Amino acid sequence: MKIALVGATGLVGSVMLQVLEERGFGNCELIPAASSRSVGKTIKFAGRELAVVSVEDAIAQRPALAIFSAGSGASLQYAPKFAEQGTYVIDNSSAWRYEKHIPLVVPEINGDVISENDHIIANPNCSTIQMVMALAPLHKAYKIKRLVISTYQSVSGTGVKALNQLFSERADKECEMAYPYRIDLNLLPHGGTFEDNGYTTEEMKLVKETRKILRDDSIRVTATVVRVPVTGGHSEAVNAEFEKDYELKDVVRLLQEMPGVVVLDNPAENKYPMPYFAKDKDEVFVGRIRRDESQEKTLNLWVVADNLRKGAATNAIQIAQLICAKGWVK
């Protein structure tokens, strides 16, 4: 089977290569593609060295799957060209997420929304994926009315330039700035770009994507996104108000039963999720599970995951696995 990876030389692309191999795609005919400045470079995959080609060349090879991690511009330009010839496109950018006819998928939650005719499938934002993994079973049981979210997002979510900024500042070296201010020994209440309503694009992704994935436009959502000097792993403080009341023991049980979620919650032994321990893992870790004592039927959760794994690469490859399992590609 031919698989194109568009954006193969980027930070998420490198993790996608790793996850593809881990999840049984090591024997595929991989077509690494990237922008013109990367064409001719080589990448390593499953013990082989492969030359990076242009996206046009990748389209010409008519792959069964095309996984995109190259930004919205590239996705808008090239994803339809792959799709027109029958390729299934899994896109990691924000280009297609809000389109009504494009499935926005977390396989453990709503993989059933993909049909054989859906040749562009959107991968949600990293912070959304980990949060809905924890919330989906609770929404099914108690129905969420309102979410108040504060995120503490790793610089790796911005890319290599941001990582370079962090480590350069830590070493007291000059560097190209990914952010308007220093990030080391600091935090920025700023993720993405500011919109007219005063919220950032990262905050509005949490609003719109959560409703679409959970299939409930009635959920009220407000969010504040904060970038923190952490190299890998996003953390979220989530306050969820439900229509029905709950017992904490049942909440814990539902989370424990959710595939891909690990409950790590023992305050007496200082056990709770942290990005340091979530790094390089596919699971979503949930802890600090407690009732909001200021308001009835309301719960507090602390949710942590590796934003490059389940938040991006792993979720995309899981979508690829789902498509293959349905027998639509060979």
Question: DSSP of 43-54, one letter per residue?
Answer: EEETTEEEE-B-
The amino acid occupying position 127 is S
Q: How would residue 144 be classed by pLDDT, with cut points 50, 70 and 90?
A: very high
Give the integer Cα–Cα distance in Å for 131 and 286.
9
What tens digit of pLDDT does each residue of 21-46 get? 999 999 999 999 999 999 999 999 99
What tens digit of pLDDT does each residue of 241-266 get? 999 999 999 999 999 999 999 999 99
Of 232, 228, 219, whose CA–CA distance to 182 is shortest?
A: 228
SS3 content of the chain, % helix, strand, coil (to 5): 35, 25, 40
Which residues are known catalytic residues? 126, 234
What tens digit of pLDDT does each residue of 186-238 get? 999 999 999 999 999 999 999 999 999 999 999 999 999 999 999 989 999 99
Give the integer Cα–Cα distance in Å for 155 and 163.
6
**What secondary structure letter does DSSP report for 123?**
P
What six digits make up the tokens of 282?
């596919």
CB-based contact 267:276 (threshold 8 Å): no
Give the per-residue pLDDT at 214: 98
> Domains plus CATH for the chain?
2-123+312-325 (3.40.50.720), 127-307 (3.30.360.10)
Q: How would residue 330 be classed by pLDDT, with cut points 50, 70 and 90?
A: confident
Tell me the β-bridge partners of 188.
227
Give the integer Cα–Cα distance in Å for 303 and 310.
13
Pairing state of beta strands 48-51 and 42-45?
A: antiparallel
